[in-house]
Amino acid sequence: MPASASQSELSFYIHIPYCVKRCGYCDFNTYTPAELKVESSLTEISRDYIDLMLGEISMARTFSTASKVPTIFFGGGTPSLMEPHDLKRVIDAIGTRFELTQDCEITLEANPDTITKERLIGYRDAGINRLSIGMQSAVPHVLQVLDRTHDPENIAKVVTWAREVGFEEISIDLIYGSPGESKEDWLRTLDAALSLDITHISAYALIVEQGTKLAAQVKRGEIVIPDDDETADKYILADEKFRAAGFNWYEISNWSKSGSPSRHNIRYWLTENWWGIGPGAHSHIDGRRWWNVKHPTAYRERIENEQAPMLDQEVLTSEEIAREEIMLRLRLPRGMRLEQFNLEQMAILENFRSENYFEEEAWSAGEITLTQSGRLVADRIVRELVL
Ligand SMILES: C[S@@+](CC[C@H](N)C(=O)[O-])C[C@H]1O[C@@H](n2cnc3c(N)ncnc32)[C@H](O)[C@@H]1O
Ligand code: SF4
């Protein structure tokens, strides 16, 4: 456990490691009731699990000197499986031990299968003010290859209910580059997404994660992942459509209406301080990182024995901090200033500049902003800069 935090603000990530069913592409630290071999109902799981998390929140109060909490993010897994009054217990526990800022952003990741209007009223009453909905695609055969169970029609329903009960910040997650997804399919998804009354969009290229059902299907040759050029074209299509609809990019995979970026995620990219509560959750305070034991059972044992759930930790060297800053901040418009780079790195940057990967106006102001084509090769730029 880290000695103490010096910064006055601390964000919380609350990990809910449960899903009704695992999607074929997902390798997140999440478990289905069948995997956990538990007989309990989800309501009981919700109550018991939240009790454990309250124990870790008390530990955070003991070890952190921070006073204010600007953001809380319930992520997963499927946080929307938890009962609203249980999530309220978490928010209240943080709010009584720390001070929630007046505009504290409190996000809930929601799987549309688990949402009703009553539940949304409960979450709103609990203090949650931002909803992030896993839409992924509007096209049934794409959802099928992704192994998603939700009915695409439910997305519009959930967004309408969310608005009706007072949510002003609503985000959706999309995935592009799925096997069998045509350009027309992706256009259909983009049009469906942009017909919704939302303020934020995350769009991720499908990653085939080792050990997933999807990886096994690819290995057996049952499905074929589209080539990189086709996926890059889909990024360009999305970026053009989002911009035309008033959504501006503020991180390579994230677009928002003015004033609606995710403040929680920006804090990650700016390597601010946050505490991750729950099994497998990662934390960062002042250059020190640690991560918790991964399995819910191991987490339970630690908390019940009043032991810190930390599995391991590392303290970043100043070189590692500088490298990480490039990796994260280059993904933001105007995240880095030219004077932060050494001569060797400047030569690399000049090379990329000649390929029109940086906005000239920002460059003249001493800052780096990737152009659309620059965003497509961001990983290559970072690799060359940090090697
Ligand atoms: C924890 S999930 C969101 C909430 C909820 N569990 C759901 O799926 O509806 C976070 C997001 O990560 C993205 N994601 C997960 N695995 C991915 C993968 N292999 N490739 C691309 N995006 C992925 C999905 O867009 C997903 O909505
Ligand atoms: S994508 Fe979401 S719902 Fe699907 S398994 Fe992963 S965390 Fe669970």
Average pLDDT rounded to a whole number, residues 309-332? 94
Structural domain contains residue 211 = yes
Half-sphere exposure for 268 (CA within 13 Å, toward CB): 15
Same domain, 364 and 253: no
State the Cα–Cα distance between residues 124 and 115, nearest whole angstrom: 13
CATH number of the domain bearing residue 99: 3.20.20.70
Pairing of strands 254-256, 336-337: unpaired
Average pLDDT rounded to a whole number, residues 287-303? 95
Structural domain contains residue 274 = no
- Our CA angle for 132, 134, 136, nearest 5°, is 135
Same domain, 357 and 260: no
Q: In which residue are the tokens 């997902």 written?
A: 26
Q: How far is the CA of 348 from the centre of ligand 1 (A)?
A: 34
Same domain, 240 and 380: no
* One-character DSSP codes across 305-357: TT---EEEEEE--HHHHHHHHHHHHTTSTT-EEGGGS-HHHHHHHHHHHHTT-
Q: Which two tokens stand for residue 250?
A: 């503020």
Average pLDDT rounded to a whole number, residues 288-315? 96
Instruction: Choose the weakest-confidence range: 1-10, 34-43, 211-220, 305-314.
Output: 1-10
Same domain, 230 and 346: no
Which of 242, 269, 296 lies at the terminal end of a domain, its last residue? 269
Structural domain tally of the chain? 2
Model pLDDT, residue 124:
98
Q: What is the pLDDT of residues 72-125, one digit of tens each?
A: 999 999 999 999 999 999 999 999 999 999 999 999 999 998 899 999 999 999
pLDDT over 90 at 42, yes or no = no
pLDDT over 90 at 194, yes or no = yes
Same domain, 88 and 212: yes
Same domain, 260 and 342: no
Percent of the chain past pLDDT 70, that is, above it, reads: 97
Please report which ligand is nearest the Cα atom of 24.
Answer: 2
pLDDT over 70 at 237, yes or no = yes
Please report which ligand is nearest the Cα atom of 175.
Answer: 1
Buried b (16+ CB within 10 A) or exposed e, 78-112: bbbbbbbebbbbbbebbeeebebeeebbbbbbbbb
Q: Are 104 and 71 in contact (CB under 8 A)?
A: yes
Same domain, 138 and 261: yes
Model pLDDT, residue 46:
76
Number of the ligand 2 atom closest to the C-alpha atom of 111: 3
Model pLDDT, residue 387:
81
Buried b (16+ CB within 10 A) or exposed e, 220-232: eeeeeebeeeebb
pLDDT over 80 at 45, yes or no = no
Q: How far is the CA of 26 from the centre of ligand 1 (A)?
A: 7
Number of the ligand 1 atom closest to the C-alpha atom of 205: 21
Model pLDDT, residue 374:
97
Structural domain contains residue 361 = yes
Nearest CA among 58, 151, 143, 72 for reference residue 104: 72
Model pLDDT, residue 33:
77
Same domain, 63 and 207: yes
The residue type found at 77 is G
Closest Cα to atom 7 of ligand 2: 77
Same domain, 229 and 92: yes
Task: For residue 303, name the pLDDT band (cuts at 50, 70, 90).
Answer: very high
Closest Cα to atom 14 of ligand 1: 26
Cα 174 to chain centroid distance, Å, stands at 12
Can you give the residue range of the structural domain that contains 17?
Answer: 11-269
Same domain, 360 and 239: no
Same domain, 36 and 146: yes
Q: Which two tokens stand for residue 292?
A: 């918790």
Q: Which residues have any ligand 2 atom within 6 Å of their CB?
A: 19, 22-23, 26, 28, 30, 76-78, 111, 134
Q: What is the pLDDT of residues 333-360, one digit of tens each?
A: 988 999 999 999 999 999 999 999 999 9
Structural domain contains residue 232 = yes
Per DSSP, the three-state class of 43 is helix
Task: For residue 3, name the pLDDT band (cuts at 50, 70, 90).
Answer: very low
Task: For residue 1, name the pLDDT band (cuts at 50, 70, 90).
Answer: very low
pLDDT over 90 at 329, yes or no = yes
Structural domain contains residue 312 = no
Same domain, 262 and 346: no
Average pLDDT rounded to a whole number, residues 310-317? 96
Average pLDDT rounded to a whole number, residues 171-181? 97
Model pLDDT, residue 130:
98
Structural domain contains residue 44 = yes
Instruction: Choose the weakest-confidence range: 26-40, 47-61, 312-326, 347-361.
Output: 26-40
Buried b (16+ CB within 10 A) or exposed e, 39-52: eeebeebbbebbeb
Q: Is 248 left (phi over 0), alpha (psi -120 to 50) or beta?
A: beta
Residue to probe by mutation, ligand 2, list 15, 26, 73, 209, most atoms within 8 Å of CB: 26
Phi, psi of 41 (to 5 degrees): -75, 165
Model pLDDT, residue 34:
78
Structural domain contains residue 330 = no
List Cα–Cα distances, 362 to 193, 327, 359, 369, in angstroms. Answer: 31, 19, 6, 6
Which of 236, 269, 302 lies at the terminal end of a domain, its last residue? 269
Structural domain contains residue 155 = yes
Residues in contact with 363: Cβ distance below 8 Å, sequence separation at least 6, in sequence order: 338, 353, 369
Average pLDDT rounded to a whole number, residues 369-383? 96
Task: For residue 15, name the pLDDT band (cuts at 50, 70, 90).
Answer: very high
Which of 233, 248, 269 lies at the terminal end of a domain, its last residue? 269
